[in-house]
Homo-oligomer: A and B are copies of this chain.
């Protein structure tokens, strides 16, 4: 039977392991693929347009914002990044499932633009564990990490706008849970082509 695809959005505080989790899940689900972002950043050596990112100009980015062509967008260190709606729509209409990770503000923007998107909130097992992971990365000072944790705690209230949550206490279990969620979502009546169900029944 024909099934519509859907967009699955994994988000949660930084340091919870969103990327690792998606990398581990993608090989297990046929027709599951990463979303490709558009960015105003210049390509780095080895990066290909339309594969790693859609590399676009500032003017084009402005135009796409104005035309409502982004499911979400944000600026990081002087460059803008966004999720183009056309890419997601195209894949979904082909019956594929698109997965992406984004911060909580981005996920909330997406839910507004595309109510049928499936939002998954990834949680660290404890606050202390998240602090440990952020320390281990060695990217930020203690002060920055504390600020980031405070911010994450604040944002925890948005979990009520999400469909699912996964506590990333053991990576293998988290992988299994995300696979389970994606598989179950493809059994949703809203994703089924009801005409094709009726056709199955009319062969008599």
A183 to B166, CA, bound (A): 12
What residues of B have a CB within 8 angstroms of the CB of A76 in the complex? none
Say yes or no: is A162 at the interface (Cβ < 8 Å to chain B).
yes
A120 to B198, CA, bound (A): 17
What residues of B have a CB within 8 angstroms of the CB of A1 in the complex? 167
Query: Which residues of A from 28 to 52 have beta carbons under 8 Å from B?
Result: none
Q: Quick check: which of A59-67, A105-113, A184-192 contacts chain B, the rest being far away?
A: A184-192
Residue from the list B165, B167, B184, B201 in contact with A126, Cβ < 8 A: B201
Q: Quick check: which of A18-26, A90-98, A134-142, A152-160 contacts chain B, the rest being far away?
A: A152-160
From A166, A185, A201, residue with most partner B Cβ within 10 Å: A201
Say yes or no: is A163 at the interface (Cβ < 8 Å to chain B).
yes
Are A185 and B187 neighbours in the complex by a CB distance under 8 Å? no
With A180-B184, A184-B183 as contacts: A159 and B189 at CB distance below 8 Å: yes
**Closest B residue, CB atoms, query A125:** B200
Are B187 and A165 neighbours in the complex by a CB distance under 8 Å? yes
A156 to B194, CA, bound (A): 9
Say yes or no: is A170 at the interface (Cβ < 8 Å to chain B).
no
Query: Which residues of A from 112 to 135 have beta carbons under 8 Å from B?
Result: 121, 123, 125-128, 131
What residues of B have a CB within 8 angstroms of the CB of A163 in the complex? 188-189
What residues of B have a CB within 8 angstroms of the CB of A126 in the complex? 200-201, 203
A128 to B128, CA, bound (A): 59
Are A165 and B192 neighbours in the complex by a CB distance under 8 Å? yes
Query: A residues touching B (Cβ–Cβ < 8 Å)?
Result: 1, 121, 123, 125-128, 131, 153, 156, 159-160, 162-167, 177, 180-181, 183-185, 187-189, 192, 194, 197-198, 200-204
Q: A126-B203, A131-B204, A164-B189 are in contact. List 6 more A-B contacts (CB 8 A).
A: A160-B189, A163-B188, A163-B189, A164-B184, A177-B187, A183-B184
